[in-house]
């Protein structure tokens, strides 16, 4: 129920961070690309093979110390259906290695279509009587602009299958305030959306006090993080924007509760490109460099939050 599975892994690893696997081809070391293009050609199949090899290397190096990965669907879809197949294989591989997988797809639609997205990412699809998992992730990011009937189908699946969602509340990008900070009466749009998350999750709260309906709140807006943490006591936060986008550990700390729980902080580029930025690594060591960056990030964040307690 709820985000208990994810929180359990966070407690186990004592690490409230998630690695965003958003593998643009330009991030992938040359030796991997050369091999894959030689085998499959300079095409999407070759690209997808390179991305998968890159992802596997990182997952192998981090699966014992990081609770989760967050593949961002756009970076797979840009390589066509071969890229989407790579997304599927990445999800499966990380789960085999014991990781919790949240697909960052920010999906949204009216009820009937949201059922299809729910089936696609967290549920099953009926094919001639067989119930098959299309992607079989553990959680999905969604956009709540359409209101309750665009969310209810996926919370039903979350309840039935022990999965979770993260709804966009206050995003990490510079212009997020254009709509999200506007005031509806005395409340901001992001706060109204946050209130809906609290409501949507209210019938499915787990043993750590958090529901299956989380919220995306950006590390780049620490004040809003603090405000939301206080106003949304049962809503677990996915916090993007740490590192490359400018969010620091002190700000990020505001997303956590007194038990060191309540949030998971994402880092993508800094981990994937650690081999280019940290000293002493060549591209052959990209996965080891990723592990080193993950450890650095974990230490940076846990130094700023209360001890993580179950």
Footprint of a second copy on 125-184 (CB under 8 A): 125-130, 132, 134-135, 143-150, 168, 171-180, 182-184
State the Cα–Cα distance between residues 293 and 300, nearest whole angstrom.
10
Backbone phi and psi for residue 76, each to the nearest 5 degrees, phi listed first: -95, -45
Polymer length in residues for the chain: 310
Per DSSP (E only), the strands in the chain are 17-21, 68-71, 100-107, 125-127, 130-132, 139-142, 164-170, 183-184, 187-188, 213-217, 237-239, 263-267
Catalytic residue among 56, 106, 159, 284: 106
Shorter beta-carbon distance to a second copy: residue 25 or 294: 25
State the Cα–Cα distance between residues 210 and 128, nearest whole angstrom.
37
Element (H, E) at 60: helix 44-62
State the Cα–Cα distance between residues 248 and 218, nearest whole angstrom.
11
Q: In angstroms, what is the minimal distance from the CB of 36 to a second copy? A: 10
State the Cα–Cα distance between residues 160 and 47, nearest whole angstrom.
36
Shorter beta-carbon distance to a second copy: residue 112 or 279: 112
By CB under 8 A, the residues from 39 to 58 that bind a second copy are 42-44, 46-47
Place of tokens 């002493």: 280
Shorter beta-carbon distance to a second copy: residue 41 or 306: 41
Q: In angstroms, what is the minimal distance from the CB of 136 to a second copy? A: 9
Residue 72 touching a second copy (CB under 8 A): yes
Residue 277 touching a second copy (CB under 8 A): no
State the Cα–Cα distance between residues 39 and 182, nearest whole angstrom.
52
Shorter beta-carbon distance to a second copy: residue 8 or 248: 248
Q: In angstroms, what is the minimal distance from the CB of 259 to a second copy? A: 30
State the Cα–Cα distance between residues 168 and 140, nearest whole angstrom.
11
Which span (3-11, 83-91, 277-285, 301-309) binds a second copy, by CB under 8 A? 83-91
Q: In angstroms, what is the minimal distance from the CB of 249 to a second copy? A: 20
Shorter beta-carbon distance to a second copy: residue 40 or 304: 40
Site string for a second copy, 20-39 (x = CB under 8 A): --x-xx-------x---x--
The verdict on whether 53 is a catalytic residue reads no
The number of beta carbons lying within 10 Å of the beta carbon of residue 114 is 23
Residue 248 touching a second copy (CB under 8 A): no
Residue 233 touching a second copy (CB under 8 A): no
State the Cα–Cα distance between residues 70 and 100, nearest whole angstrom.
9
By CB under 8 A, the residues from 196 to 215 that bind a second copy are 196
Residue 88 touching a second copy (CB under 8 A): yes
Which span (82-90, 154-162, 278-286, 293-301) binds a second copy, by CB under 8 A? 82-90
Evaluate whether 99 touches 67 at the Cβ level (below 8 Å): yes
Residue 192 touching a second copy (CB under 8 A): yes
Catalytic residues: 106
């Amino acid at each position: 129920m709820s985000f208990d599975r994810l929180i359990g892994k966070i407690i186990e690893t004592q690490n409230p961070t998630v690695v965003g696997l958003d593998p643009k081809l330009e991030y992938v070391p040359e030796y991997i690309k050369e091999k894959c293009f030689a085998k499959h050609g300079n095409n999407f199949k070759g690209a997808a093979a390179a991305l998968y090899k890159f992802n596997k290397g990182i997952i192998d190096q981090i699966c014992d110390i990081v609770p989760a990965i967050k593949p961002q669907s756009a970076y797979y879809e840009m390589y066509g259906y071969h890229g989407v197949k790579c997304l599927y294989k990445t999800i499966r591989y990380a789960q085999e290695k014991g990781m919790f997988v949240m697909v960052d797809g920010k999906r949204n639609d009216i009820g009937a279509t949201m059922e299809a997205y729910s089936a696609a990412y967290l549920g099953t699809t009926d094919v001639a009587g067989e119930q098959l998992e299309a992607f079989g992730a553990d959680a999905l990011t969604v956009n709540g602009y359409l209101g309750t009937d665009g969310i209810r189908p996926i919370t039903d699946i979350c309840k039935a299958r022990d999965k979770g969602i993260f709804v966009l509340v206050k995003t990490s990008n510079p212009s997020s305030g254009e709509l999200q900070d506007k005031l509806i009466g005395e409340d901001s749009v992001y706060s109204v959306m946050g209130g809906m998350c609290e409501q949507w999750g209210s019938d499915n709260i787990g043993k750590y006090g958090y529901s299956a309906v989380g919220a995306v709140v950006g590390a780049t807006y620490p004040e809003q993080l603090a405000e939301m943490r206080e106003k949304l006591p049962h809503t677990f936060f996915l916090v993007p924007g740490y590192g490359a986008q400018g969010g620091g550990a002190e700000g990020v700390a505001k997303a956590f509760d007194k038990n060191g729980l309540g949030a998971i902080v994402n880092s993508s580029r800094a981990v994937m490109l650690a081999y280019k930025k940290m000293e002493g690594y060549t591209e052959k060591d990209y996965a080891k460099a990723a592990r080193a960056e993950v450890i650095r990030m974990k230490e940076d964040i846990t130094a700023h939050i209360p001890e993580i307690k179950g």
